[in-house]
Structure 1
Amino acid sequence: MTSTPLPSPTSTSGSTHRSPARARHLLSKVPEVTVWFWLVKVLCTTVGESFADWVDARLGVGLVATALVFTAVTAVVLAVQMGLRSYRPAAYWLTVVVLSITGTLYTDILTDERGVPLAVSTAVFAALLAVVFGAWWARERTLSIHSITTTPREAFYWLAVLVTFALGTAVGDGTLELTGWAPGTAVLLPAGLIVAVAAAWRLGLNPVLAFWAAYVLTRPLGANIGDWLASSRAEQGLGLGTALTSGLFLVAILAVVAYLTVTRVDAPGAVDEPGTR
């Protein structure tokens, strides 16, 4: 079974530039960007929203303490992921899930604990993401995920992923605050913007820009889906609750990751995309 390629970041410099000699060269650590990539990414972002809410309520120790716990978990998961020498679906997507939860908690701390307006949080995380991309580009001369073949590039990649989750949370919550839309209706905005980005990519938008724009937008999409499923019917949701929503999506992630592990359809190099190498 083959997958249809979707927007993926590429760069001429990504295939020719070499990091300093001290960088440890690896096989590609990131899967091919296909429909499977975006499917699991949305599932992970939904879990990030619903599970972060559930674990905060379950632990009952406050957002700050919960975020500290998940920061420690993030450090452990990243150490395992970055210690691998090639792409492993289970390790890669576990890292994405944990970063999704942690990034959500960081934004929630600013909003719920510190009272920072969502517009300010959005601006802060957008500026931080620009700094990460700027430092990444200055060192490596590429932001292409097809070039994640050294430890420094992988470190920049995962830092960017963490910030996109925090930024996407602020953007999604800010949109809900401004519009007052019900969770189900709110799903349509990021979904429509993702379609617009995909169309722009097809018409010639820079692939790297298209990829990272879609990557940020999948965060509010997944979060709004999670809110819609978990919210009570009085809040115009489906009333599944955060625990059941998290469980359903975790099972879905496990099923897809198991499929990808067996079939290797998303393994680096499994899909030929003209001009991407």
Structure 2
Amino acid sequence: MAGEAELTPTSYIQHHLHNLTAQVGEGGGFMTLHLDTLITSVLTGALMVFLFWLATRKATAGVPGKWQAFVEICLEFVDRQARDTYQGTSKLVTPIAITLFFWILLMNTMKMIPADFIAKPLEWVGVHYWKPVPTADVNATLGLSISVFFLTLFFALRAKGLGHFTLEFLTAPFGKWMMPFNLVLNTVEWLSKPISLAMRLFGNMFGGEIVFLLIWVLGGAGLLGLLGGAVFGFGWMVFHLLVIPLQAFIFMMLSIVYLSLAEDSH
């Protein structure tokens, strides 16, 4: 980051909201990859798998260790929510719910690390941009929601078959004589689900990221600003201790609801 860019609060915030990107394709014009989002997402996913592996490595049917007991409590909680919400017969729902909840939870938790704690060491090795929270990138949340969309489509086709699904898509809810209106309504309904799912998670995480950066900037405005930044930062951090798991929980629950509704017949 250039020295002048550090002089103003606006440039500081803009810098920390800029992704580390790489151009793909001939001439670099085919697509842009957000490398920080991809790398952090993969690392948090690998961390999730590793933590679960630690719990199962020495799992016992007797008195479990502390970490095994904690993981079992978390998994039982998610499994209970999935079973209570999903009314179908698929055994994939609980693994899907576990993956979504804990992966999003870990990605959201990256927000608790101050931005400069990651950005400054990376600048020393020549990496000048790094946005640490994957869920504050709409590309990541859309990727998750589109995956849920295709799962929803798969569940619907598996439960109803292509013929019944197509017939229902064209005739529900107003009957066969209102087929054009049914087609428009159902198309909007199906497309709005992944979009709303992605934007809800992105909006909360991105908004929280901006507030954290504003508080961080306030802390650099003299002694009074430092005290104010410490107070507001602590309060916002405590608030986000609720927001971080809540957003992961909402995304998981809505995904299960969509999967359950996909198998229902109108």
TM-score normalised to structure 2 length: 0.30
Structure showing greater radius of gyration is 2
TM-score normalised to structure 1 length: 0.29
More helix as a share of residues: 2
Structure number with greater CO (CA < 8 Å, separation at least 6) is 1
